[in-house]
Amino acid sequence: MLRVLFASLAFLCLALTAPARAQDEGSIQPILQEQSELIQESSRRTIQPAIDAIAASGLSQAQTVLETWQAKDMWLRLTDGQYFRAERINRETYRLFDLDTGEDLGEFPADDLDQIKPNSGIRGLIAVALVQFQLSDPDPENRRAALQSLERDPNEDALAPLRNSIEGETDPDLLAKKQRLERLLTMAYDRDPEARIAAIEEMSEDTGVDVRATLNPILSTRLRVFNGAPPDSLNIARTLTPGSDALPRAEAYEMLVSAGDAPSRLGPDAIKDTLAQNITDGEVAGIQVHNLNTQETRRTAYDRLVADGIAPPVPTEAEVDATLAQYIFAEVYDEPNAAVTTAAQAALDSIATRVAVGQAVDLTLDALSLASIYFLAAIGLAITFGVMGVINMAHGEFIMMGAYTGYVVQQFVPGPTASILVAIPLAFAVTFGAGVAMERLVIRFLYNRPLETLLATFGISIALQQLAKNIFGTQARPLTSPDWLDGAWVLNDVVSISYIRIAIFALALIFLALFLYIMNRTRLGLETRAVTQNRRMAASMGINPDRVNMLTFGLGSGIAGIAGVAIGLWAKVTSELGQDYIVQSFMTVVVGGVGNIWGTLLGATMIGFLQKGIEWFNPSNTLAAQTYMIIFIIIFIQFRPRGIIALRGRAAGD
């Protein structure tokens, strides 16, 4: 009976003590007590073992403790040396929370507590230790934030935690980012040269800026001087010859002087100062001061001081050359492994080639985009000026009217996509009507009188601008693009083009096809071509030239209105919008060939590529680029006065 009683008591004791023992085994407090001296000392030089002990504990609360410590919320209770998280209630009282369970332990007087205040250096070390927890945090946003922190401040200590977090990553986007960052950190910090070389070769086709930023430090060098052959243990980038462009002679000799391996070369000012310090009774080394007015006499006096041991000797040019010949100047890689630097240089060369190709592609896309904008702006002018021979200086204002029509529609039609779909036909209708009215009221009385037409349309241009200012004000009005046109098509870090420009390019192609269809497949196009080629013959065949001119002018104006909607999505809508494109529109039509739509297309392409090419050579001065472009076009017209594609037959003679 006693044995049963003793067994029952033993079992009861074990049952009572087991939870406490389990709690001790899972507590962070013993680790903090072991590292208490280092934690309280708070020295960046000695704190690392304490941080490592907490981070390597394997306890789930380790991350919380490190974050509490980093946030300066960890406090020491002086009575028992225990650590807690504290929240201030007032100046005399704090509320303590258990670091293991988060349990509220009640209020305690401030006199019994001491705050642990890590400096910025310690907080940085804690941040590095936290990476291994944050990279595997259940919350994807926390993992993303940890990755962004590593991308901003990569370091060797993060490589192992990053690799450990890759296998369990479930988010495809974060997985790709982790794998890329792991390759970059491997290139920079891995202890195994073979692993670094493999990572470098793997990333050698990537044109990302971060890849180049990782490779460049691997190829960093220092200029060093050797008295004899450099040691074989050094990774030499190249040897330099004093007097070459890479190493000026004076710079090379100054390195020897700084190292104490050669006497200083004194300049004229230094010699003059030395002589001034040794004036005795109005003379220096037996030469009167008033005679020291030339470099020759000053050098003679200085040589006498050298002979007397008063001044240091100045080496001659021959001595300088002889001294330089005794030494080898070389750029030495900071990276000691030659295979790594060779792989890095090969990767950078490969990337540089790809970047150059990418820049050429990006410049081509920009030029095509600009050409499509000029083509849209000029296609209406190609009809009114190229076909009808009317110099319409108000063409830019039709573009402006179309843009403002799009803006007004967006005030009444909800949704950018729906408003644009409504604005395009409405802009055509508004500017078509304005063009017809202008042709009926002004232009038809001025045919074959180009100067009067120019002056009249210029006056109309000014009037329309002022009318727009009176209605809409001088402030730029936004023409909001649909959400599906936001952003850009990004091929890599070098090549990208906005979706709006792609849409304008597609719209230009659509209008090209539409114009060709109208001119070649419709009665209006047939009559327009007939009037263009021979006005009298067309009239004798029953075609009404006045009606054709009216509709043709309206068509050109309507197309300008649609172009205004497209351009308004890319540029701010103001009353001066049309003036930004009228000059380029006329140049496009004249350079391409008056009266030919294919010539207008080629003219817009040539001007777009020419302007972007000039801007590439002189990117800081857009005005200069436009000036050079106009000069080139003036020269071009001297050799091709009829443009790239000239009309033939009677129309050319007219």
Q: Looking at 64, 97, 122, which one is the last position of a domain?
A: 122
Task: Look at residue 24 in the predicted model and tell me its pLDDT.
Answer: 43
pTM, two decimal places: 0.68
In a domain, 590, yes or no: no
Task: Look at residue 385 in the predicted model and tell me its pLDDT.
Answer: 75
Do residues 410 and 542 both lie within one domain?
Answer: yes
Do residues 141 and 118 both lie within one domain?
Answer: no
* Separation CA 524–CA 175 (nearest Å): 61
Do residues 463 and 556 both lie within one domain?
Answer: yes
Given a contact cutoff of 8 angstroms between Cβ atoms, the answer to whether 549 and 436 are in contact is: no
* Separation CA 583–CA 101 (nearest Å): 75
Given a contact cutoff of 8 angstroms between Cβ atoms, the answer to whether 219 and 349 are in contact is: no
* Separation CA 404–CA 470 (nearest Å): 13
The pLDDT tens digits of the residues spanning 512-541 come to 888 888 888 888 888 877 877 777 887 888
Do residues 166 and 228 both lie within one domain?
Answer: no
Do residues 227 and 212 both lie within one domain?
Answer: no
Given a contact cutoff of 8 angstroms between Cβ atoms, the answer to whether 553 and 390 are in contact is: yes
In a domain, 583, yes or no: no
Q: Which residues of 395-414 are buried (b: 16+ CB within 10 A; e: fewer)?
A: bbbbbbbbbbbbbbbbeebe
DSSP lists the bridge partners of residue 222 as 332
Do residues 524 and 392 both lie within one domain?
Answer: yes
Task: Look at residue 620 in the predicted model and tell me its pLDDT.
Answer: 62
Length of the chain: 654
Q: Indicate the DSSP class of residue 35.
A: T
Q: Looking at 197, 218, 239, which one is the last position of a domain?
A: 218
* Separation CA 581–CA 395 (nearest Å): 9
In a domain, 591, yes or no: no
In a domain, 483, yes or no: yes
Give the range of the structural domain holding residue 419, as residue numbers without chain letter: 357-575
Q: Which residues of 282-298 are buried (b: 16+ CB within 10 A; e: fewer)?
A: eebbeeeeeebeeeeeb
Do residues 236 and 273 both lie within one domain?
Answer: yes
In a domain, 548, yes or no: yes
- Output the 3-class SS for 103-160: CEEEEEEHHHEEECCCCHHHHHHHHHHHHHHHCCCCCHHHHHHHHHHHHHCCCHHHHH
In a domain, 172, yes or no: yes
The CA distances from residue 504 to 213, 380, 382, 398, 560, in Å, are 35, 15, 18, 18, 13
Given a contact cutoff of 8 angstroms between Cβ atoms, the answer to whether 503 and 430 are in contact is: no
Do residues 483 and 366 both lie within one domain?
Answer: yes
Tally of structural domains, the chain: 4
Do residues 142 and 252 both lie within one domain?
Answer: no
* Separation CA 76–CA 84 (nearest Å): 6
Residues of the chain with pLDDT under 70: 1-25, 386-387, 594-595, 619-623, 646-654
Do residues 298 and 232 both lie within one domain?
Answer: yes
* Separation CA 87–CA 567 (nearest Å): 59
* Separation CA 166–CA 85 (nearest Å): 32
Number of H helices, E strands in the chain: 27, 12
Do residues 399 and 479 both lie within one domain?
Answer: yes
Task: Look at residue 622 in the predicted model and tell me its pLDDT.
Answer: 64
Q: Looking at 218, 244, 266, which one is the last position of a domain?
A: 218
* Separation CA 288–CA 295 (nearest Å): 14
In a domain, 262, yes or no: yes
Do residues 381 and 427 both lie within one domain?
Answer: yes
In a domain, 294, yes or no: yes
